Structure formats: C-alpha cells, structure tokens
Amino acid sequence: MAMAIICSGGDAPGMNPAIKKFVDYAFKLGEKPYFIYDGLEGLIDNKIKEATHHDVAGIVHIGGTILRSSRSKRFFDPAFRKQAFDNLNAHGINGVIVLGGDGSFRAFEVFSSEYPISFVGVPSTIDNDINGTQYCLGVDTSLNVIRDALDKIRDTAASFNRAFLVEVMGRDCGYLAVVSAMISGAEVCVIPEVPFEPQRIEARLKDEVAHGRNYILAIVSEGAKKTREVFDWLQDNIGLETRVSILGHIQRGGNPTVYDRLMAFEFVVRGMDYLRQNAHANKVVVFNNGEYSFIDIKEVAGKRYQLPQHYIDAISYLD
C-alpha cells in the first residue's frame, strides 16, 4: 500500500514531527511513503513526491511544516477533485494522512465519497476547537509561546502603573485565552463563550487599584471581538493607562514542545495502522481522557466544538 501525508489549512507546531514519524513508520511497515506539497492546491497540481529518510532528517524540532500548506477554493470544483484523484492514482496512492482541521476533513470526506481513497485525519490546530477530541496537535506549543509572552509582558507591566491587554488567537473558541489567563494569573479574561460584563469585576478592580494595585493583565480572545471595548473600559473606567499587544501569528510558530512531538508520533502511528487495516477509511483519530480512538467525520464536522464547562467556570473565579 502506498500512503501519502498532506498538511491542509493553518499550520501547527507538531506537523514536522508528524511528517517525520510518517516516513519512519512507513519504511518500518514496508510501505511506500509520499509527500503532497502545498496542501489541496498541491494535490490538484500533482506536487506529489516519494519521500525518503533524507527528506525528514533534522526536522523534528522545527515549527511549521516542510510540506507547506494552503486553502483551496479549486477543490470545491468536481473537475479539480477528479484531477487530484488522477494524480494520486498515477502514484498508486490509496491512503492519505491529513494534518488539518474540520474544513480539511470535510473536503476529504467528499473526496473519498467520490473516489476509492481512504484517509485518516489528525486534528491539527492551535485553536483546539475540533469537536470530538480534547487535544489537537500544536496546542501545547502555542500555549507555551503565549505563556512566555505573558510572563515578559507582566514583567514590564509591574514596572509601570498600567494595564496590559493581550489579544490571543482562537478563532471562535476561547480555549487559548482561558488557559493562558489561568496560568498567567490574569485579572481579566474575555472569550466568545461568555458575555463580557465589566460591571461584575469593575468595583473589585477599582478597589484594588485604590489600595495599591499598579497593573492589570487582561487576556482577550480574538473571537470575542472585544479588544477595543476592553481597552476603552480599562482606560476610562478602571483608570489605568493601557497598552495592547496582539500576539498574532507568533502563536503558530516555534519549536514543538515535547508533548506536541509525542502527540504527533501517537496520532500518526495510529492513523497509519488504521489505514492499513481498513479498506475504506474516512475517520479522524482523537484523544480523550488519555485514550486514542477514531470517530466519523460527521462527528467532527457536523457539530460545533463546545468549550468544557470547567474552563467556562474558571472565568467566574476572576469576578
């Protein structure tokens, strides 16, 4: 059996360790590994290459993905999906490991319903917003990047009588913001899942400022779309000069942590074993309560991710 690996959508730390394990494990199994470069666009344009150990030497510690990625509008067109299948078929590839998110998995679900192509999705997104899994590849590295930034920002915040507002990524999910607020000791956390009600904490913060508090750290999830509102509130209502730091795509880079490297290895090995054992696979490998399992694409793509209640409850601790 010939297998390929592809990265689709946003990059995530841990993709390169996954790519290395894919090649190493394929050779151990006696399978022929292939790379698909540039995501779905590369699949359409036949950017497919047989992989060797040399290709993956020295990449396990590197962030991003050596295969590069893309978002493809052309893949919505059946004619381009036919072209993509012809490319895979020409190489004898009938199994694909997909490193991506729910959009990538939906695309491959359609693809595999039209052609005899099996695939296993590996949840890979720093947002940790894929339904059906407690963990997605790249999250731990991203949280450590944020933690490092927050520790440094708090150092300078403590040196001035100021508030510092830090916007973190997460699309429509507040996971990164909540966890970052918990581990940094932030005084304010704003996420899409919980209405921003400044009056609930305003009196407490004003009292603390009046009694000597000289800085405030506020974490705002980009999906809440409240960065400007929180900024104005901190300056005008709390009365502290405020600085804003938008971390942006720095959160998607960096050397994968130990945990993300181990998760990459586990996800890929289980995905490849599943491909070999199932003639027509279209599943996503997930991690819940310390256990790995496989779920249908509809469980991933058909349901909105819900932030666990204990994280939402953590917001109330700041009130």
Q: What parts of the chain have a pLDDT lower than 70?
A: 317-319
Task: Looking at the structure, tell me whether residues 192 and 262 fall in a common domain.
Answer: no
pLDDT of residue 172: 92
Task: Looking at the structure, tell me whether residues 217 and 236 fall in a common domain.
Answer: yes
- Chosen domain end from 252, 278, 293: 252
- Dihedral sign for Cα atoms in the order 271, 275, 278, 283: positive
pLDDT of residue 319: 63
The DSSP letter of residue 57 is: T
Q: Which range marks the domain in which residue 84 is found? A: 2-138+256-301
Residue 157: CATH number of its domain: 3.40.50.460
pLDDT of residue 75: 97
pLDDT of residue 159: 86
Beta carbons of 67 and 5 less than 8 angstroms apart: yes
pLDDT in tens, 130-185: 999 999 999 999 999 999 999 999 888 888 889 999 999 999 999 999 999 999 99
79: exposed, middle or buried (Cβ count in 10 Å: 0-12, 13-18, 19+)? exposed
Residue 35: CATH number of its domain: 3.40.50.450
Task: Looking at the structure, tell me whether residues 125 and 7 fall in a common domain.
Answer: yes
Among 11, 38, 127, 260, which one carries the catalytic annotation? Answer: 127
Q: What's the pTM?
A: 0.94
The alpha carbon torsion through 87, 91, 94, 99 (nearest 10 deg) reads -70
pLDDT of residue 176: 98
Q: Is residue 127 annotated as part of the catalytic site, yes or no? A: yes
- How many Cα atoms within 13 Å fall on the side-chain side of residue 176? 34
For residue 145, the surrounding DSSP H or E stretch is helix 139-157
pLDDT of residue 238: 94
Task: Looking at the structure, tell me whether residues 80 and 12 fall in a common domain.
Answer: yes
